[in-house]
């Protein structure tokens, strides 16, 4: 009887491990990711126009003061900027274009590319088959429009 307990325990552990690693435990995960451009503005009598420059690229926009002294700043971003899934999950990313005419986008490490247009939804479906952190980048709006797909490894 003492021999059957260790064998039974080992067998139960093997069945549990096999079940956990099987695709049956993978989930379908769906996310909506918005391409947005948060903005802020003020007049120079309340806040002076910045003397420093923003990083180069199309990700940041700094508009000089107009005739009324109003200036604005904006940045293109993904919202949410981080997606966390488990290894093995079937992942559906629905990118919706809110601001900006077009966002040519790549999910690095998964070789997925899509162009997100304002007023449209572009869908990417992938299996999160390897753990790691993978950049979701818009080629037009660098350096600010970069998100992450985080794939957590099985324990």
Per-residue model confidence (pLDDT) at position 154: 81
Q: Give the Å distances, CA to CA, from 29 to 69, 88, 125.
A: 47, 11, 10
| Within a domain: 2 | no
| Within a domain: 9 | no
Q: What is the pLDDT of residues 127-154, one digit of tens each?
A: 999 999 999 999 999 999 999 999 999 8
| Within a domain: 46 | yes
Same domain, 109 and 121: yes
Q: What is the pLDDT of residues 51-65, one digit of tens each?
A: 999 999 999 999 999
Per-residue model confidence (pLDDT) at position 6: 47
Same domain, 88 and 67: no
Same domain, 44 and 92: no
DSSP three-state, residue 46:
coil
Same domain, 84 and 54: no
What is the Cα–Cα distance from 49 to 56, expressed in whole angstroms? 18
Mean pLDDT of the chain: 88
pLDDT at 20 over 50: no
Residue 23 — pLDDT band, cuts 50, 70, 90?
A: low
What is the Cα–Cα distance from 58 to 77, expressed in whole angstroms? 11
Q: What is the pLDDT of residues 33-92, one digit of tens each?
A: 999 999 999 999 999 999 999 999 999 999 999 999 999 999 999 999 999 999 999 999
The whole-model pTM stands at 0.80
Same domain, 85 and 143: yes
Cβ neighbours for 142, distance < 8 A, ≥ 6 positions apart: 57, 58, 59
Same domain, 118 and 146: yes
Residue 1 — pLDDT band, cuts 50, 70, 90?
A: low
Domain CATH number, residue 89:
2.60.40.420
- Report the chain's C-alpha Rg in angstroms: 23
| Within a domain: 67 | yes
| Within a domain: 59 | yes
């Amino acid at each position: 009887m003492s021999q059957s307990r260790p064998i039974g325990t080992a067998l139960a552990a093997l069945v549990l491990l096999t079940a956990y690693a099987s695709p049956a435990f993978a989930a379908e995960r769906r996310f909506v990711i918005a391409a947005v451009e948060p903005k802020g503005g003020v007049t120079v009598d309340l806040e002076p126009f910045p003397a420093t420059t923003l990083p180069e690229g199309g990700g940041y926009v700094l508009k000089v003061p107009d005739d009324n002294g109003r200036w604005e700043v904006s940045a293109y971003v993904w919202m949410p900027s981080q997606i966390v899934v488990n290894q093995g999950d079937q992942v559906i990313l629905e990118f919706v274009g809110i601001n900006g005419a077009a966002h040519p986008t790549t999910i690095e490490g998964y070789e997925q590319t899509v162009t997100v247009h304002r007023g449209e939804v572009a869908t990417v479906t992938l299996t999160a088959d390897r753990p790691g952190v993978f950049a979701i980048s818009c080629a037009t709006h660098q350096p600010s429009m970069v998100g992450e797909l985080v794939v957590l490894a099985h324990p």
